[in-house]
Structure 1
Amino acid sequence: MSSSSNQYPFQPPQHPETQCIHAGKVKDAQYGALATPLYQTSTFVFDSAEQGAARFAGEQPGYIYTRLGNPTTRELELKVAALEGMADAAATATGMGAVAASTMAFLQQGDHLIASKAIYGCSFALFNHQFARYGIEVSFVDMTDHQAVAAALQPNTKMLFAETPINPNLVVLDLEFLGNFCKKHQILSVIDNTFLTPLLQQPARFGIDIVIHSATKYLNGHGDVVAGIIVSDADKIQTIKLTTLKDMGATISPHDAWLIIRGLKTLSVRMERHCSNAQKVAEYLAEHPAIAKVFYPGLPDHPGHKFIGKQMAAAGGVLAFELNGSLDDGRYFINQCELLSLAVSLGDAESLIQHPASMTHSPYTAEERKMAGISDGLIRISVGLEHVVDIINDLSQALVKMQGQQKRPSETLTCNL
């Protein structure tokens, strides 16, 4: 047995399933607690005035104030950094805190940002409505068109921001192209990786500088936290922590960090089920006569399907679709769902259904939604962890009711989203 142990020495955990549980964890030296201790404190006591001064000056390691750092939060940051294959991370109070902190730390008046024409509604509102107030110019482009990305480049371009797959229409972008483009032109690249998590996609492998997540979603996975996280190299994370996070205050609470650490322990098994269920739901909807089109990279006819195995390990747990019918038909259909919850967000154990045009992407004008490829009839589902037969049965009964309603055109539908 001794020769066996010499032949197979212990190595640091490398597999992401193991990292979800063990990465970043510090042994509890005082009590030996298995679970991560929750340091629910706003401030930390110094042994002396000299120690406090040394910590403020950055001359001595240690914690000062939870807005500036906390042991529970630090474990979360190191865990997600390990999963993304990057050096460091900064946890934030919300996903939008991560978007704002990661962009505003490196942009200033007179700079130019290239952003994908379809992104989460509040990210769009920040760039399109708020950045203009501070003299930051933004160009929204179709990033599947590489010539359009190149044409958007200006002498003052400092950053490129995108999601892939894109929320809500599941367009997949070529990370290798975007990473190479940004390196060539010496601009920062920021990718929102919320939809796939580090288990299914690691943008840093393709040269992306900064990766962000709404940790509210799959990383936590239980619908009881709002949070975000930014992952990058140590210098960029230090810049973000000492500027936008410190001064604007969008830092996470220790309790929320603790809940996400707990959620991460089951991330790998949850993502397997989310992906498996979503694939089966997408295949069911693609064959249904009441469905005009399904948007899901796991389907062979989806333009993003070619990236599975190259850029993405799987297609994820979110899909969207268009009904054969009117906007009122869509409203009626959603209201007939009984198992699926009518709610925004995604990545929860429960299956969620929503109408992007009137909900998550309402900050877009009708014309802006049209340009971004977000139709009024688009419906998005975050496929949950329920038995897939029950999910499909609920969709089936709602579609049957909608089709029955379509046969009564004289009736006026009054249900509203």
Structure 2
Amino acid sequence: MKIKGITTRLVHADRNLNQPQDGAVHFPTSNSVLFEYKDVNDLVDVFQGKKMGHVYSRSSSSSNSALQKILAELEGGVDAATFATGMAAISAALLSLLKCNDHIVVSQFLFGNTRSFMNTLENFGIEISYVDVTDVNAVARAVRANTRLVFTETIANPVTQVADLAAVGQLCAEHKLVYMIDNTMTPGHMFDAKGVQASLTVMSLTKYFAGHGNVLGGAIVDTGLFDWSDYPNIFALYRVGDPRNWGLTQIRKKGLRDMGATLPPHSAQQISIGLETLALRLERCCNNALRLATYLHGHAKVAQVYYPGLSDHPQHYIAREMFKGSYGGIFSMDLVEGADILAFLNHLDLVITATHLGDTRTLALPVASTIFYESGAQERAKMGINDNMIRFSVGIEDIDDIVADFEQAFNKI
């Protein structure tokens, strides 16, 4: 039968896509580092890319391949590659696909660690233009003759700006640019990256995909839309077979095999199990976030709430169209002038102060003094981040309990 429901698909994905032995419903963890070939010719063919197979677990393993099939299915892609973390996935892709003197266009609202990595790329001679990705004209003005790629997040962290995803995708298609989208905040069933002509989607599996704060991981999915035969940076050695595979092949060879940020097999299985409840958890997180943001909007001790689900958010209507009626599980708020945000956070009992998101628990963090501290005041101002901002990742708790925790903390400041 054809399965339509996302949760049904995810719950049964491991046994349907990977067909584990002995009637198991989860694909087993494979901890072998090496793989034997009875015929050495087969080993040679795998090394040369003529056959599929595993030769060394730093590059691939059956556990990672099982997870990659599920991710490609979820994101509507032709294939996926997994990494030790989301940042490993981003760095592997960009270092594999770019060369000195290439130019890329990226969102000026990037998450702090991603922005820090962009600074590293600039030190390697890669030119970067930071633009307001909510305005496709700003992206278009930044495109040059040596532009290779456009990179954006769907919903920015922490100020929740929403990129003009469809318009930027059309621009990239017209200019034959790689369109790389960080889809961590809006996993496959919430946002159709392929529908906006994304070439690659990248994600931190640590967040919503795994969902329980107990495992690190990252991934890249190739949607199959980009014609890699037109991309000048693909090495001749990897220009074999179906051109749709060339980009991800080069990322695997140069970014995973050579750089070594391998996802451990046990982590791959943990993420696969976490994925089974992705849709249920994310729906609850999004509903709770909307309820909480609405409660805080207009609160006497809150100056501003940043959440795409609120009608006064600058990109509310783009978010409503792009994200299938959900608006994500994170939002930020500014307390009123003079309020002590650290004191407020210390008064929260249920909400955990921690640097993470996409968890089952509601989390909070003072933005300027932690994850964006290295950016400096000038860069924070460009991103819309002020010193009184707190970011929240809303969990799956009962919403009345979360609201009550906020209220008792407000009463103490």
The CA deviation at 1:188 is 0.9
Q: Deviations over 1:12-60 (max 9, x none)?
A: x34322332233632223x221222111222222224333333223333
Aligned partners of 1:170 and 1:297 also within 8 Å: yes
Alpha-carbon distance in structure 1 between the residues aligned to 2:145 and 2:47: 38
Given the alignment, which residue of 215, 222, 231 partners 1:225? Answer: 215
Aligned partners of 1:350 and 1:385 also within 8 Å: yes
Map of 1:358 onto structure 2? 369
Map of 2:19 onto structure 1? 27
- Runs of 5+ in structure 1 lacking a partner? 1-9, 403-417
Alpha-carbon distance in structure 2 between the residues aligned to 1:247 and 1:267: 32
Map of 2:275 onto structure 1? 264
Map of 2:329 onto structure 1? 317
Q: What SS does structure 2 have at the residue aligned with 1:370? A: helix
Given the alignment, which residue of 102, 113, 117 partners 1:111? Answer: 102
1:276 aligns with 2:287: yes
Map of 1:381 onto structure 2? 392
Q: Which amino acid aligns with 1:158?
A: R
Aligned partners of 2:105 and 2:151 also within 8 Å: yes
Aligned partners of 1:19 and 1:79 also within 8 Å: no
Q: Deviations over 1:171-230 (max 9, x none)?
A: 111111110111111211111111111121121111011111111100000001111110
Aligned partners of 2:136 and 2:164 also within 8 Å: no
Map of 1:89 onto structure 2? 80
Alpha-carbon distance in structure 1 between the residues aligned to 2:344 and 2:391: 12
The CA deviation at 1:391 is 0.7
Tell me the matched-pair count.
389
Give the alignment of 1:297-316 within 5 angstroms. 297-313=308-324, 314-316=326-328
Q: Which amino acid aligns with 1:288?
A: H
Given the alignment, which residue of 98, 112, 118 partners 1:121? Answer: 112
Given the alignment, which residue of 128, 132, 135 partners 1:138? Answer: 128
- Runs of 5+ in structure 2 lacking a partner? 225-244
Map of 1:393 onto structure 2? 404
Aligned partners of 1:340 and 1:351 also within 8 Å: yes
Alpha-carbon distance in structure 2 between the residues aligned to 1:346 and 1:218: 8
Alpha-carbon distance in structure 2 between the residues aligned to 1:23 and 1:87: 16
Aligned partners of 1:122 and 1:363 also within 8 Å: no
Map of 2:140 onto structure 1? 150
The CA deviation at 1:309 is 4.3
Aligned partners of 1:19 and 1:82 also within 8 Å: no
Aligned partners of 2:107 and 2:133 also within 8 Å: yes
Q: What SS does structure 1 have at the residue aligned with 2:150? A: strand
Alpha-carbon distance in structure 2 between the residues aligned to 1:149 and 1:168: 21
Aligned partners of 2:352 and 2:363 also within 8 Å: yes
Q: What SS does structure 1 have at the residue aligned with 2:54? A: coil
1:164 aligns with 2:133: no
Alpha-carbon distance in structure 1 between the residues aligned to 2:260 and 2:89: 11
Aligned partners of 2:162 and 2:319 also within 8 Å: no
More off after superposition, 210-219 vs 75-84: 75-84
1:203 aligns with 2:193: yes
Q: What SS does structure 1 have at the residue aligned with 2:104? A: strand
Q: Deviations over 1:52-85 (max 9, x none)?
A: 3332233333221112211111121111111111
Map of 1:185 onto structure 2? 175
The CA deviation at 1:133 is 1.8
Alpha-carbon distance in structure 1 between the residues aligned to 2:175 and 2:12: 38
Moved over 6 A (4+): none
More off after superposition, 15-24 vs 184-193: 15-24
Q: What SS does structure 2 have at the residue aligned with 1:41? A: coil
1:251 aligns with 2:262: yes
Aligned partners of 1:124 and 1:363 also within 8 Å: no
Alpha-carbon distance in structure 1 between the residues aligned to 2:48 and 2:90: 28
Alpha-carbon distance in structure 1 between the residues aligned to 2:52 and 2:105: 38
Q: Which amino acid aligns with 1:295?
A: Y
1:174 aligns with 2:186: no
Q: Deviations over 1:231-276 (max 9, x none)?
A: 1133322221122111111121111111100000011111111111
- Measured on the aligned residues, the alpha-carbon RMSD in Å equals 1.5
Quote the sequence identity (%). Answer: 36
TM-score w.r.t. the length of structure 1 is 0.90
More off after superposition, 267-276 vs 146-155: 146-155
TM-score w.r.t. the length of structure 2 is 0.91
Alpha-carbon distance in structure 2 between the residues aligned to 1:287 and 1:185: 44
Given the alignment, which residue of 275, 279, 296 partners 1:285? Answer: 296
